[in-house]
Amino acid sequence: MIIVMKSGAPKKDRDEVVKRIKELGYKPHIIHGATRDVIGAVGDERGKSVLQSLESMHGVENVVPILQPYKLASKEVKKESSLVRISDNVSIGGKQIIVMAGPCSVESEKQIIETAIEIKKSGAHMIRGGAFKPRTSPYSFQGLEEEGLKLLAKARDISGLPFVTEVINPETADLVAEYSDMLQIGARNSQNFALLKKVGQLKCPVLLKRGMSMTIQEFLMSAEYIMSEGNQSVVLCERGIRTFETATRNTLDLSAIPVLKEKTHLPIVIDPSHGTGHHHYVAPMCYAAVAAGADGLIVEVHPDPEHASSDGPQSLKPVKFDLMMKKLRLFAEAADRSL
Ligand code: PEP
Ligand code: MN
């Protein structure tokens, strides 16, 4: 249920409503709007009609049911787009399109620092790089783990850019969060509910990727797992879904952008690297994503893709990334966005 407070209702009225929601066995989530606050009361769907009685409380305008199965992620609860703050200079979901770039895996100090410096020169806003890698084969490179996190922190110090890195299980989530500006939940873990709950309890923003065979509704339900634990800083990432097509690694579902924009207030980032699997398809998909309304891009960039430990074929060399960024500016302007 959504409890819509009257515009200008005093804090003490809101506190009373919050108290009553808890007494009725529901979890209150206060959402501050431009003109009024709303309180999402989430919990057992079956007895929710008892919440209707809150309508008679001071400062309450009305009480309305949330029709979608996802509640906190829904536009029904919050109409304005959310701005997710990553650092003092970087927020996702505003007019500026945020570009995250870097290697699939952190491999060495030289590799990650060289990449961070190059992408910054080209105008990227964040570094990406995997330290804990979820690989299809147990025999493939699994990442440098904590050493990789330290190298990412060093690259951040040198470049001044915050970084996003993947977290693959609840056991190492605190460790990864200690170092990181943003936690990535990968496609393979997007319905790992124990992991979603765990990152929901942390203070760090989350980049949630869409699973390979996930519907939009399932995607938003995964975001709901994180948000219902208290972490509202969730950014969605479309990275391609599995279809019958084999010419690309995945099928990048750009129609997910307008669909999600209609259903949720959360920002949307596009990953054309995993979405296509081939470096020469990456730039056109970046332009198309911006035209379709994406709030950001996450792009794999490697100084020596031929020798990359993972995802070399889909990684751009810094010079190609630079060309893409130059042209992207034009598309951003046409979409009334900035880079
Ligand atoms: C990655 O970002 O390198 C990655 C493993 O992505 P995904 O989970 O989308 O496959
Ligand atoms: Mn990758």
pTM of the shown model = 0.95
pLDDT of residue 48: 86
Four-residue CA torsion sign, 251, 323, 92, 113: positive
If you measure from the C-alpha of residue 12 to the centroid of ligand 2, how many angstroms do you get, rounded to a whole number? 49
pLDDT of residue 82: 96
CA 51/CA 35 separation, integer angstroms? 23
Query: Secondary structure of the chain in the HEC alphabet?
Result: CEEEECCCCCHHHHHHHHHHHHHCCCEEEEEECCCCEEEEEECCCCCHHHHHHHHHCCCEEEEECCCCCCCCCECCCCCCCCCEECCCCCEECCCECEEEEECCECCCHHHHHHHHHHHHHHCCCEEECECCCCCCCCCCCCCCCHHHHHHHHHHHHHHCCCEEEECCCHHHHHHHHHHCCEEEECHHHCCCHHHHHHHHCCCCCEEEECCCCCCHHHHHHHHHHHHHCCCCCEEEEECCECCCCCCCCCECCCCHHHHHHHHECCCEEECHHHHHCCHHHHHHHHHHHHHHCCCEEEEEECCCHHHCCCCHHHCECHHHHHHHHHHHHHHHHHCCCEC
pLDDT of residue 45: 82
pLDDT of residue 187: 98
Phi then psi for residue 74, to 5 deg, are: -80, 150
CA 28/CA 9 separation, integer angstroms? 17
pLDDT of residue 311: 97
Question: pLDDT tens digit string along 6-28?
Answer: 999 999 999 999 999 999 999 99
Judge contact between 157 and 127, C-beta under 8 A. Answer: no
Ligand 1 atom closest to Cα of 310?
A: 3
Distance of CA 14 to the CA centre of its chain: 30
CB of 209 shorter than 6 A to ligand 1 = yes
- Pull the structure tokens for residue 108: 């060495």
CB of 285 shorter than 6 A to ligand 1 = no
pLDDT of residue 98: 98
Q: Which residues in the chain come in under a pLDDT of 70? A: none
Taking only Cα atoms into account, the Rg of the chain, rounded to an integer number of angstroms, comes to 21
Ligand 1 atom closest to Cα of 298?
A: 2
pLDDT of residue 333: 98
Ligand 1 atom closest to Cα of 128?
A: 2
Q: Which long-range contacts (CB under 8 A, 24 or more apart) does 52-58 make?
A: 52/1, 54/3, 54/17, 54/20, 54/21, 57/13, 57/16, 57/17, 57/20, 58/9, 58/13, 58/16
pLDDT of residue 182: 98
Beta-bridge partners for 311: none
CA 119/CA 161 separation, integer angstroms? 10
* Nearest alpha carbon to residue 250 among 211, 289, 301: 211
If you measure from the C-alpha of residue 124 to the centroid of ligand 1, how many angstroms do you get, rounded to a whole number? 19
Q: Looking at ligand 1, which residue's alpha carbon is closest to its atom 3? A: 104
What is the end-to-end Cα distance of the chain in Å, rounded? Answer: 38
CA 157/CA 337 separation, integer angstroms? 28
Question: pLDDT tens digit string along 260-316?
Answer: 999 999 999 999 999 999 999 999 999 999 999 999 999 999 999 999 999 999 999
Mutate to test the pocket of ligand 1, among 209, 269, 300 (most ligand atoms within 8 A of CB): 209
Mutate to test the pocket of ligand 1, among 137, 183, 184 (most ligand atoms within 8 A of CB): 184
- Pull the structure tokens for residue 10: 């005093």
If you measure from the C-alpha of residue 277 to the centroid of ligand 2, how many angstroms do you get, rounded to a whole number? 9
